[in-house]
Structure 1
Amino acid sequence: MTLAWVHRHLEAAERIVGVEALHGGATADMRRLTIGTRDGGIRHLVLRSFVGPTRQGPAEDLLHRETDALTTLTGTGVPAPGLVAVDPTAAHCEYPSLLMTHLPGRTVLDDEGLETRLPLLARQLVAVHAVRPADRPREYVALTTADTVVPPEGAAAAVWAAAIDVIRKPAPRYEGRFLHRDFQPTNVLFDLPPEDPAGAVGARITGVVDWAAASWGPADPDVAHCSTNLALLHGPAWGLRFTEAYQEAGGRLAAAADERLYWQVREPLAFSEEVQSVAQPWREAGRTELTTRAVEERLDAYVTSLMDALG
């Protein structure tokens, strides 16, 4: 059913000649489709299928949001996939699905070269936040509450209690921006020279993917989300450094220190609820040392560093 649906959206005389599973997706199955063209060449498309429930909400809603985001981003300069077709209710496919263009490049999760890649990530996120959609997407919604946080085993109890108290307060007022809401290294593609596989010198960003959570809200949680991912992947200092790099690139965060702390600590507290599911794709991508326990320890250290710096 799904392949027949894809075929209906190909150009005349094109055919599907190969299917390859893509790894790293946490909320949906991703496949790269190789398309044989009428002139004997090939091109690629990407099929995104929601095969099960997600914490972010119904697949239909996520696919509508991603469709709107990809449409909004067309012509903006943000390197996002192009929309080909969408079946949000699985009327034609086995699962709710989206078909999009394939972007070149690959994700990079190595420690090596991060000093070069980090400012590229920061500048790219500033560009995302500069997008002004004709129609605003759904308002940002925070899923984590003070009562759902799960402090890691052995965490600094007093520090976590203080951090949890921070998010008991009402959310600060904010100036809205167009948000990705899952901007982090596994959703950014890099072109890397063969002689520089870690991107220490010649890296450039070729794509930003996974726009299913695109929304409207403060820039702060987008920055904090990427900062938390970097802290868990590479160490707490890199999380703090990304926040600085975002501002150095021209990005604007909440002016008051207590407001910045609210947004910056909310994201790592949210990660506490799903450390295992966060760490697993990283291990599958080659970061085998990032066991659940190792990530929990980095999460504890990062929350402590935030409270020390801003609390």
Structure 2
Amino acid sequence: MNRHLKTGERIVKTEALHGGITAEMRRLTISTRDGGTRDLVLRAFVDPFYRERAEDLLSREAHALTLLTGTSVSAPGLVAADPTAAHCEYPSLLMTHLAGRTVLDDEGLETRVPLLARQLVAIHALRPTERPRGYVALTTADTVVTPKGADAAAWAAAIDVIRRPAPPYEGRFLHRDFQPGNVLFDVEPSGPAGARITGVVDWAATSWGPADLDVAHCSTNLAVLHGPAWGLRFAEAYEEAGGVLAATASERLYWQVRDGLAFSEEVRLVSRPWREAGRTELTTRAVEERLDAYVTALMDALG
């Protein structure tokens, strides 16, 4: 770690950052030669399950951060990467620290949703010199977990949708986990909540695929965080911001439903950091109920 600091610098403080699922995050405060400080962020894969996958994930994230340097998308700058734990105790990535914080509250959502949409359009407009690998589907018709008490007919119909072949699409640069937990906002006490996005983090799943897939992922997260109507609203906001989605309702439904059903397998995993961030009402059961309502609303609106 110290070999990546400038001459005369040293770590004077470490602070755990909460909200992540796959890795432990720490902010490192560095004292500089001129008497000031600067911050870096250390991402370490400690959990054995993710440690086995760390080499691929961290290598992809390091490559993505390199590609994003100098673009219109604000992302952390890469300082160093040790995907195989050759120098660190755990597979790790060191990056610059971005100002801002995640905002998961309902208050100010009307302001933040258009900002999220515009940010995602900007990401999809990137044309990197080297494409990332193709997207990986996160669920199959046979692994979907239908929530207890869910609308069985709606879920069965939704599962049938993803049995079909994927629709044709024009490839785009995807974040692949674009959602409120990975977007930082500058929230001014005297102004509207979420007045400005300061950066986007967690680029480990960067892929090449349909814009609809990123839109669907953010839509699902908004639906379970804030209610099904916001999941449906995000696709509209994306188009209003200049984004282009699949041409037909059936094609759009395929991507939206695919992500919603994938979420069914991760409810416990995803809802825990939300509760830790203050959304204590989002119990596993509450999230399952919102997901059921969202999948049912998708089938009503697009099916």
**TM-score band w.r.t. shorter chain:** over 0.9
Partner residue in 2 for 1:143: 138
Q: Is the 8 A contact 1:53 1:59 kept in 2?
A: no
Q: What is the Cα deviation at residue 258 of structure 1?
A: 1.0
SS in 1 for 2:296: helix
Q: 1:257 to 1:190 in 2, by over 3 A?
A: same
SS in 2 for 1:237: helix
State the secondary structure of the residue aligned to 1:301: helix
1:118 aligned onto 2:113: yes
| C-alpha distance in structure 2 between counterparts of 1:177 and 1:190, whole Å | 25
Partner secondary structure for residue 253 of structure 1: coil
Deviation at 1:145, TM superposition (A): 0.1
Provide the secondary structure at the position in 1 that maps to 2:113.
Answer: helix
Residue 197 of structure 1 and its aligned partner are, at CA, apart by 7.3
Q: Which of 42, 49, 52 lines up with 2:47 in the alignment?
A: 52
Could you tell me how far 1:274 is from its partner in structure 2? 1.1
Counterpart of 1:152 in structure 2: which amino acid? Answer: P
Q: Secondary structure at the match of 2:12?
A: strand
Picking from 102, 122, 129, the partner of 1:127 is 122
Q: CA deviation at 1:14?
A: 0.3
Q: Give the aligned partner of residue 95 of structure 2.
A: 100
SS at match of 1:86: strand
Query: What code does the residue aligned with 1:259 have?
Result: E
Counterpart position of 2:221: 229
Within 2, Cα distance between the matches of 1:21 and 1:196?
Answer: 28
TM-score by length of 1: 0.96
Of the three residues 215, 219, 225, the one matched with 2:207 is: 215
Of 187, 194, 205, 2:197 maps to: 205
CA displacement at 1:190 relative to structure 2: 0.4
* Amino acid paired to 2:82: D
Instruction: Write out aligned runs for 1:142-221 (5 A).
Output: 142-196=137-191, 198-199=193-194, 203-221=195-213
- Equivalent in the alignment of 1:3: none
Q: Is contact 2:212–2:255 with CA below 8 Å preserved after alignment?
A: yes
> Which of 231, 234, 240 lines up with 1:248 in the alignment?
240
What's the CA shift string for 1:170-214, capped at 9, x where partnerless?
111110000000000010000011224733xxx100010000000
Residues in 2 aligned to 1:265 and 1:285: alpha-carbon distance in whole angstroms: 27
Asked whether the 8 Å contact 2:111–2:193 carries over to 1, the reply is no
- In the alignment, what sits opposite 2:299? 307
Specify the code of the residue in structure 2 equivalent to 1:310.
L
| 1:68-87: CA deviation from partner (whole Å, max 9, x where unpaired) | 11011111110100000000
Residue 71 of structure 2 corresponds to residue 79 of structure 1? no
**Residues 53 and 271 (structure 1 numbering): CA distance in 2 closer, same or farther, change over 3 Å?**
farther
One-letter code of the match for 2:74?
Answer: P
Q: What amino acid is the match of 2:33?
A: R
Tell me, in whole angstroms, the C-alpha distance in 1 between the residues paired with 2:233 and 2:50: 29
The match for 2:277 among 276, 285, 293 is 285
Instruction: Name the TM-score, length of structure 2 as normaliser.
Output: 0.98
SS at match of 1:48: strand
Q: What secondary structure does 1:153 align onto?
A: coil
Question: Is 2:263 the counterpart of 1:271?
Answer: yes
CA contact (8 A) 2:112 2:193 kept: no
**AA partner of residue 223 (structure 1):** V
Structure 2: which amino acid aligns with 1:47? L
Gaps of at least 5 residues in structure 1 are 1-5
Asked if structure 1 preserves the Cα contact closer than 8 Å seen for 2:176 and 2:214, the reply is: yes
Aligned counterparts of 1:221 and 1:97: Cα–Cα separation in 2: 28
Report the CA distance shift for 1:133/1:53 in structure 2 as closer, same or farther (over 3 A): farther
Offset at residue 256 of structure 1 (A): 1.5
Deviation at 1:56, TM superposition (A): 11
Superposed CA deviations along residues 192-247 of structure 1, whole A, max 9, x for unmatched, are 11224733xxx100010000000100001100000000000000000000010001
